[in-house]
Structure 1
């Protein structure tokens, strides 16, 4: 079993055929997602107060060393080396920040498409439920309600006692109350 990987590797190495030429572009193959990830990390660090504080301290120390200590002076007054360092930093920071913004824009676009799809599905579900609710209301509206049946029975059988008269008054009061509640809604 342990011989199989070695045998497979040896089978891949065909010594009787010349190896292909490698171009310079093959050496420069990078994973764009990995580069973008690191670009975002750098861009996030460059946008923090911590970075600004560190950079300010470095610049102050740089200037103090080059102005106060004659023996350690490695970048005299116009601070050309410091300007070169800032220019190099800006030359690298700007494309990294743009790359991070492009990746964020791509993520925002995907998120917006997902939100649109979710909203469309929610709208379709809401419309379906509204249609179902409307059909239930129509179906219930066609059914005979308890009050309707009692009213029809009372109409067919005239009330001959006080209890029937009280029930009729109570039903009338309930209908009026329901009408007031319906009007309030």
Structure 2
């Protein structure tokens, strides 16, 4: 049997539609079942192909979204305000702390897009993971259905064999009964 014919039969048997009507993901699952190959990991999930700047953005997002950063930043702000309130003539940013406000605005202006870049990459990785999980789950479900069909076929064959054996036994019993009646 040609591989395409087998795939078409599997698609019809397992999904109830022709192979041509399947989505690319569903086709890949039917192909994997037909060839009995393991699903494997999506190549996009295995390597770290991020650039230096992407790794830096991910690191900044990880640090900027941590309690360590929050407490450290709070300590720096407290020290800044305390120094500029109590230092007298040595202050470099007197109340209302305009330089501090400028620094915080610049940090926020730079940190927000960097975190968004990191989140966009995480969302893309999550989409790839979700697609891979879908393929694995769909394949498992279809494999179970396929095995169930095979078991049903085996049960049917066994049932036919049992019925034939019982019919033969019944025929032998009838013949023996007829012979016993004839002897009487």
TM-score past 0.5 threshold: yes
Name the count of aligned residue pairs: 128
100-109 or 147-156, which deviates more: 147-156
Q: Distance in 1 between matches of 2:51 and 2:133?
A: 24
Q: For 1:105, which of 123, 132, 136 is the aligned residue?
A: 123
User: Which ranges of structure 1 fall in alignment gaps of 5 or more residues?
Assistant: 1-30, 159-185
Aligned-residue offset at 1:100: 0.6
Q: Distance in 2 between matches of 1:47 and 1:135?
A: 57
Q: For 1:91, which of 80, 103, 109 is the aligned residue?
A: 109
Superposed, 1:47-86 pairs within 5 Å as 47-86=65-104
Q: Distance in 1 between matches of 2:102 and 2:50?
A: 29
Q: Does residue 127 of the first structure (1) align with residue 130 of the second (2)?
A: no
Aligned-residue offset at 1:33: 2.8
Q: Distance in 2 between matches of 1:41 and 1:112?
A: 24
Give the root-mean-square deviation of aligned CA atoms: 2.4
Q: Distance in 1 between matches of 2:111 and 2:159?
A: 70
Q: Distance in 2 between matches of 1:139 and 1:99?
A: 60
Q: Distance in 2 between matches of 1:96 and 1:34?
A: 13
Determine which structure has more spread, i.e. the larger CA radius of gyration: 1
Q: Does residue 136 of the first structure (1) align with residue 154 of the second (2)?
A: yes
Higher RCO, Cα 8 Å, sep 6+: 2
Q: Distance in 2 between matches of 1:100 and 1:133?
A: 49
Instruction: Determine the structure 1 residue equivalent to 2:57.
Output: 39
Give the TM-score of the pair, scaled to structure 1: 0.62
Instruction: Determine the structure 2 residue equivalent to 1:183.
Output: none
Instruction: Determine the structure 1 residue equivalent to 2:45.
Output: none
Give the TM-score of the pair, scaled to structure 2: 0.62
